[in-house]
Homo-oligomer: A and B are copies of this chain.
């Protein structure tokens, strides 16, 4: 642990007073883990993340178990979180790919769901076996039924900056899909830099283009990956633009399939370090969060890729 009183809080002009961290470690993070994590461990993970003050903890995904075996226990886990742990379903979004997934989620008491679209045809084909527009058509009734049920809907959008097959993704293509998701009733977008190639000017340009197309910044969340180490710089650019919802994964869980302990998702601890240093309120207890990530890393049997977790958990 470093000397107390660090990071020193020095606010910067033009940044939001408060940021809402959308914690994705239990879903997006674990989804990429090959070792199947026991349901009890997942439940404790979500519980501890909520206890550390994270306002939104994405819990699981109601996709078909064949697609994501790690999340095949969605019913059992989500039921336990609500019934045994007594957590508020409004703070536990779950992914729903289609009508059947929504049925399962609603039956268990879900109050916040997410659909996941792609900005590129290549990834829509790879991830959903559909064109971009076919996927949007699949989501439209899911979103409509959610809204009728008074359930909050987030729209994830993958490959907003670069695509592994197509290279740079034109901004107007991203704007079109964003408008479609909001038009069908999504309350919030999450702009994903799925392969981590974005840089701060690209972030500013996309946000500016979205505003120009009538999208309010308050409805935009950002989801950066650290594949090239750019996630926090991109986040700073988004904050400077007024974005107040930032996705991150406790301990940097998930993401990079090819390098042991290399990262994909922005680590929540690295994000919190920056936000607290900037005097931006998050409600998060960094010590409790770090302890949780250290515990989860031990359960997974490998060190956390988060630099803040490594630095803070180092024993002299």
Contacts and interface: CB of A to CB of B under 8 A. Distances in A.
A233 B166 CA distance: 28
Interface in A194-229: 195-202, 204-205, 226-229
Nearest to A201: B12
Contacts of A169: 8
A226 B168 CA distance: 28
Nearest to A262: B310
Interface in A273-307: 273-274, 276-279, 303, 306-307
A273 B164 contact: no
Interface string A170-202: 000000000000000000000000011111111
Main secondary structure of the interface of A (DSSP, over half): loop
A302 B15 CA distance: 39
A83 to B, nearest CB: 37
A253 B210 CA distance: 39
A17 to B, nearest CB: 13
Contacts of A15: 201
Nearest to A279: B201
Nearest to A3: B167
5 contacts: A7-B199, A200-B277, A226-B307, A256-B310, A259-B310
Given A3-B167, A233-B236, 17 more contacts: A2-B162, A5-B167, A7-B197, A7-B199, A8-B167, A10-B205, A11-B201, A12-B200, A12-B205, A199-B273, A200-B236, A200-B274, A229-B270, A229-B306, A230-B277, A256-B311, A262-B310
Interface of A: 2-12, 15, 161-169, 195-202, 204-205, 226-230, 232-233, 235-237, 256, 258-259, 261-263, 267, 270, 273-274, 276-279, 303, 306-308, 310-311, 314
